[in-house]
Structure 1
Amino acid sequence: MTSAPPPSSSTSGLRVDAERNRQRIVAAAREAFGEHGIDVPLEDVARRAGVGVGTLYRRYPTRADLITAAFETKMTAYADAARQALADPDPWHGFCGYVERICAMQAGDRGFTTVLTMTFPTAKQFEADRDRAFADFATLVERAKSAGKLRPDFVTEDLPVFLMANAGVLAATTDAAPDTWRRLVGYLLQACAAPTAQPLPDPPAPRQLYRAMLRATRHQRDRS
Structure 2
Amino acid sequence: MSDTDEKPVQRGLPGRKAQAARNDEIILSAAREVFLAEPKAPISAVAERAGVGISALYRRYPGKEDLLRTLCYDGLRRYNAEAEAALRNSGGWEVLVDFLQRVVDADVHSLTVHLAGTFTPDDSFLPEVLRAGELAERIIAGARESGRLRAGVDAADLGLILESCAAITLPDPARTAQLRRRVLALLVDGLAAEGDLPGPPPTPGEFAHRWQPATR
Residue 89 (structure 1) shift: 4.8
Q: Which runs of 5+ in 2 are unaligned?
A: 1-14
The amino acid across from 1:175 in the alignment is D
- The alignment-based identity, stated in percent, is 21
Root mean square deviation of aligned Cα: 3.2
TM-score (norm 1): 0.70
**Structure 2 matches for 1:92-103, cutoff 5 A?**
92-103=93-104
Q: Helix, strand or coil: the match of 1:208?
A: coil
Q: Are residue 214 (structure 1) and residue 189 (structure 2) matched?
A: no
**Corresponding residue for 1:80?**
81
The amino acid across from 1:45 in the alignment is V
TM-score (norm 2): 0.72
8 Å Cα contact 1:30/1:71 also seen in 2: no
**Corresponding residue for 2:136?**
137
Q: Helix, strand or coil: the match of 1:155?
A: coil
The amino acid across from 1:150 in the alignment is L
Give 2:198's match in structure 1, choosing from 182, 186, 201: 201
Residue 137 (structure 1) shift: 1.5
**Structure 2 matches for 1:1-224, cutoff 5 A?**
24-34=23-33, 37=36, 39=39, 40-47=41-48, 48-52=50-54, 54-70=55-71, 73-106=74-107, 112-117=108-113, 118=116, 121-122=121-122, 124=124, 126-170=125-169, 173-175=170-172, 177-178=175-176, 179-193=178-192, 196-202=193-199, 203-211=201-209, 213-214=210-211, 218=213
Residue 158 (structure 1) shift: 0.9
Structure with bigger gyration radius? 1
Tell me: CA distance 1:30–1:127, structure 2 relative to 1, closer, same or farther (3 Å): farther
Distance 2:29 2:103 in 1: 18
Residue 20 (structure 1) shift: 5.7
Distance 1:30 1:127 in 2: 24
Q: Helix, strand or coil: the match of 1:188?
A: helix
The amino acid across from 1:28 in the alignment is I
**Corresponding residue for 1:11?**
none
8 Å Cα contact 2:150/2:191 also seen in 1: yes
**How many residue pairs were aligned?**
192
8 Å Cα contact 2:97/2:188 also seen in 1: yes
Tell me: CA distance 1:174–1:153, structure 2 relative to 1, closer, same or farther (3 Å): farther
Distance 2:24 2:53 in 1: 8
Residue 123 (structure 1) shift: 5.5
Q: Which runs of 5+ in 1 are unaligned?
A: 1-15, 107-111
Residue 181 (structure 1) shift: 0.8
